């Protein structure tokens, strides 16, 4: 992705967050220059990859396939000094955009429509070999438990949520014409380096073409503490 595209996505996501009455923690607003001054007091942000995360999954077509994310809080299953056992994110999906089919080995998560358009979550069970099973899928949604056929797109309007369990494949879409969606995620600790299993092989973090200065640093770009 071009840095200018990443900058534009962050600004677009900031506007949607503000429109829906959310407030980001201070570190989400730090400039690259401010980051150079941040001491080891802020290692939790560095070590647990809090902050901005814009990805096209290495496919080079963010308008079609991508995600804007910001991790607000997170523990670390690999480092016992971090005691949190949970994570929280905000995610951003444009109208006519999707985020690809994947499951998580470790974490379960609630996906919440926080505002904007209508979210669609396509669900499958893992067949045990990394494939898509044809068995019915358990849906847990706001206190209701029921089964749907494999490949069903569960519709979430603002305020509605779905629980995604370990090894449960899921893919994000938006009902066309309903508008971009602000999505909440509440989960066990998040680890994007080891806990994602994509149905089709792809990258997680984008290669960046530096065509302009960064507006915000991404969560894998922080400088070491001075």
The answer to the question of residue 215 being in a domain is no
Is position 43 within any domain? yes
Q: Which CATH number fits the domain that encloses residue 77?
A: 2.60.120.10
Residue 148 belongs to a domain: yes
- Asked if residue 105 belongs to a domain, the reply is yes
- Domain extent for 50: 3-198
Looking at the structure of the chain, the number of domains it has is: 1
| Residue 79 within a domain | yes
How many CB atoms are located within 10 Å of the residue 14 CB?
A: 20
In a domain, 82, yes or no: yes
Would you say residue 203 has pLDDT above 90?
A: no
Domain annotation covers residue 177:
yes
Tokens of 129: 């070999």
pLDDT tens profile 48-94:
999 999 999 999 999 999 999 999 999 998 888 999 999 999 999 99
Q: What are the residues facing 115 on neighbouring strands?
A: 182
In this prediction, residues 153-168 reach a mean pLDDT of 98
pTM of this structure: 0.95
In this structure, is residue 224 part of a structural domain?
Answer: no
């Amino acid at each position: 992705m071009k840095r200018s595209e990443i900058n534009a996505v962050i600004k677009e996501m900031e506007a949607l967050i503000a429109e829906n009455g959310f407030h980001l923690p201070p570190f989400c607003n730090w400039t690259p220059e401010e980051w150079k001054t941040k001491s080891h007091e802020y290692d939790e942000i560095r070590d647990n990859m809090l902050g901005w995360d814009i990805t096209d999954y290495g496919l080079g077509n963010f308008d079609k396939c991508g995600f804007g994310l910001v991790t607000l809080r997170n523990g670390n299953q690999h480092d016992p000094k971090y005691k949190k056992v949970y994570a929280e994110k905000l995610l951003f999906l444009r109208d006519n955009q999707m985020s690809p089919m994947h499951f998580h080995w470790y974490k379960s998560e609630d996906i919440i429509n926080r505002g904007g358009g209508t979210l669609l979550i396509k669900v499958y069970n893992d067949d045990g070999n990394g494939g898509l099973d044809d068995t019915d899928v358990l849906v847990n949604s706001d206190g209701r438990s029921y089964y749907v056929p494999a490949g069903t797109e569960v519709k979430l309007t603002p305020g509605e949520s779905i629980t995604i369990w370990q090894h449960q494949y899921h893919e994000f879409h938006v009902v066309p014409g309903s508008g971009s969606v602000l999505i909440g995620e509440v989960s066990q600790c998040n680890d994007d380096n080891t806990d994602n299993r994509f149905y089709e092989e792809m990258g997680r973090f984008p290669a960046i073409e530096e065509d302009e200065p960064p507006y915000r640093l991404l969560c894998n770009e922080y400088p070491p503490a001075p």
